[in-house]
Amino acid sequence: MVGLTAGTTAAVPREVAARPLAQVVPVPAVVRQGGAPYTFGEGTVIRVSPGAVGVGRYLAGLLRPSMGYPLPLRPLGRRDGIVLALSGHAGDLGDEGYRLDVTKQGVAITAERPAGLFHGVQTLRQLLPAAVEERTPQPGPWTVSGGTITDVPRYSYRGAMLDVSRHFFTVAEVERYIDQLALYKIDYLHLHLSDDQGWRIAISSWPRLAAYGGSTEVGGGPGGYYTKAQYEQLVRYAASRYMTVVPEIDMPAHTNAALASYGPLNCDGVAPPLYTGTNVGFSSLCVAKAVTYRFVVDVLRELAALTPGPYLHIGGDEAHSTSAADYTAFMDRVQPLVTGYGKTVLAWHEITNAHPVQGAVAQYWGTAGTEQGVVAAAKAGTRLVMSPANHTYLDMKYNPSTKLGLSWAGYTEVKDAYGWDPATFLRGAPASAVLGVEAPLWSETISTSDDIGYMAFPRLPAVAELGWSPAVSHDWDAFRLRLAAQGPRWDALGIDYYRSAQVPWPAQE
Ligand code: NGO
């Protein structure tokens, strides 16, 4: 099944047999294996539709270093080599679906939109030996099994969140994570840009938010923040991987960094000190004060102007120091500001304790699946992004001896990350309310790219598969084998993943 051979002598390439077409994560919707395989060679060209040049360049950039072939880009014409074709009437492929046909002549990827071609390229990448991820010439051969894949996502929202507030991550670190997420067809990157421990985005009208509020992090390190230009660079980089950035400003709680930066935002007018611990629930914006809304308007206006994506996430979780009445008043006043800037409200599911506006999306982060307020809101039209903490929180420890992470939602092995259904987890909520899934990575204990890799892999691909693959394909025994085949790829990519005993990883060289 795994397509790895036992050949170990130096002259024998590590992987000889081409892997089965279904050996992809997330597993494609329809796979028909058969026919002759295709093998890349010195003369392979990449043929692209005019609208597919960007994806073609990206593919060439992925393959050239390891294959060592020139792989020039050519216009469509003969259907030999690699073909990336946009076709308005390719079938029911939608915004993100693709078809991948492998014959003796080549690999043709067809899609209605460039995002579909990009996802098809990720599939092609996984069908090649793991050594394709190396950045120096590798021996090959580079063979893809014959047959056809037709693939469309189950959900349109397949997100990953990175908390850049508890610990700050540089643009380069976030871009590295974006590249890792793209391999699993994640299409939304949620950035948790503010919390008690740090404010991470420059706001011109309130400059101390970033300059002072961003000056530390959990543990007392130097923190940091994104200039507007850096944030825009992240948005562009994500877009080049067909990923949309969802910025979050958490309100009215989780706001100590803002309260410390501007005394007038506090009910008593006194700025508290910066905070570098990990408690939650002690801070609140002053709901009764007019200045609070001048602040919110300015922040949302500047953030909306920087953000081409449809969502602004306004947090709303754990407002333990805000009265229920104040919470409702605040959320009801702030949501129309978001829609006023042409954006869709996204918030943690506590927003259902207020009055979610038409079109609002609640991000469910409970563990029980029985929260009646959220169910009622979903029945009344609020849509859901599913992030049950005991399945999708990438900051939960795998087991008691995991060095990083928290355990308040329980230990979460990769089988737990995979073992739930987004459509039915919240019992009584209509399946049609579910927009998709998201795997949040909170960073109280996470501070480096290696930490991110260790906590996200292998669980992120499990959540990504729940978001992309059809429900009928759900099968742990099949998933763990496909996941095992990803291990050598992560090794080649330099990802320090958790070698879960639940997965039969191939022996390391
Ligand atoms: C909770 C809390 C966060 C923590 C996280 C840690 C939500 C939505 N609010 O999730 O502030 O960082 O748990 O797992």
Q: Is 318 a pocket residue for ligand 1 (Cβ < 6 Å)?
A: yes
373 CB neighbour count, 10 Å cutoff: 13
Using CA positions, which residue lies closest to atom 10 of ligand 1? 365
pLDDT of residue 4: 34
Residues 6 or more apart in contact with residue 359 via CB below 8 angstroms: 339, 344, 345, 383
C-beta 407 within 6 A of ligand 1: no
Q: Which atom of ligand 1 is least distant from the CA of 395? A: 14
Angle, nearest 10°, between helix axes 228-240 and 290-306? 50
- Contact assessment for residue 186 and residue 157, using Cβ atoms and an 8 Å cutoff: no
DSSP annotation string for 419-436: S--TTTSSTTS-GGGEEE
DSSP H or E run through 194: strand 194-195
User: What is the set of domains in the chain, with CATH numbers?
Assistant: 30-151 (3.30.379.10), 157-468 (3.20.20.80)
Nearest CA to ligand 1 atom 6: 442
For residue 480, how far is its CA from the centre of ligand 1 (angstroms)?
Answer: 28
Spell 111-122 as b/e; 16+ CB within 10 A means b.
Answer: bbbbbbbbbbbb
Q: Which of 318, 350, 413, 438 is catalytic?
A: 318
Can you give the pLDDT at residue 508? 65
Among protein residues, the one whose CA lies closest to atom 8 of ligand 1: 317
CA–centroid distance, residue 160 to ligand 1 (Å): 14
Q: How confident is the chain (509 residues) per 10-residue block, as mean pLDDT?
A: 35 63 98 97 97 98 98 92 89 94 98 98 98 96 98 98 98 98 98 98 98 98 98 98 98 98 98 97 97 98 98 98 98 98 98 98 98 98 98 98 98 98 98 98 98 98 98 98 98 98 87
CA dihedral for 94, 95, 101, 106, sign (positive or negative): positive
Tokens of 182: 């793209």
Position 321 scores a pLDDT of 97
Question: Which three-class secondary structure state does DSSP give residue 62?
Answer: helix
- Quote the pLDDT of residue 13: 45
Which pLDDT score is estimated for 89? 74
pLDDT at 90: 62
3-class SS shares of the chain: helix, strand, coil, % to 5: 35, 20, 50
Q: How many Å apart are CA 257 and CA 260, to the nearest integer?
A: 5
Whole-number Å distance, alpha carbon 311 to ligand 1 midpoint, is 20
Catalytic residue list contains 350: no
